[in-house]
């Protein structure tokens, strides 16, 4: 396999290899291995989270207006307060009259 690096990356990898007294190809292989390991973990976690979200209980249409038991969904009071504060600007925007057109969708 042929790999083309821009000059900055090649210089940085060469400097690391020199500093560590290692062959450049060893440093490049280790960097690629680390990249693959990290991204494989992210892919695995994303897949698990997607499966988990598909399996979770969703709010039915009729329950939209009722209070939601956040504690049963793993959200404590502090997290709920934080979430409420972060969603406040969204709520203000959503409740302005111009947004009524979206309710009809």
Distance CA 14, CA 7 (A): 10
Q: Is the pLDDT of residue 81 over 80?
A: yes
What pTM was computed for the model? Answer: 0.44
pLDDT tens, position by position, 10-41: 999 999 999 999 999 999 999 999 999 999 99
Element holding 19 (H helix, E strand): helix 7-19
Q: What is the mean pLDDT of residues 69-83?
A: 87
pLDDT tens, position by position, 59-71: 666 666 677 788 8
CB-neighbour burial class of residue 102 (10 A; exposed 0-12, middle 13-18, buried 19+): exposed
Mean pLDDT of the chain: 85
For residue 39 the two structure tokens come to 């991204």
């Amino acid at each position: 396999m042929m790999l083309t690096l821009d000059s900055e990356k090649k210089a940085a990898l060469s400097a690391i290899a020199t500093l560590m007294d290692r062959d450049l190809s060893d440093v490049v292989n280790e960097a690629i291995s680390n990249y693959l390991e990290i991204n494989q973990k992210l892919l695995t976690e994303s897949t698990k989270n997607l499966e988990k979200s598909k399996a979770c209980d969703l709010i039915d249409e009729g329950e939209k207006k009722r209070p939601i038991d956040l504690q049963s969904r793993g959200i404590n009071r502090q997290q709920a307060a934080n979430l409420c504060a972060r969603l406040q600007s969204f709520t203000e925007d959503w409740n302005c009259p111009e947004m009524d057109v979206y309710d009809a969708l």
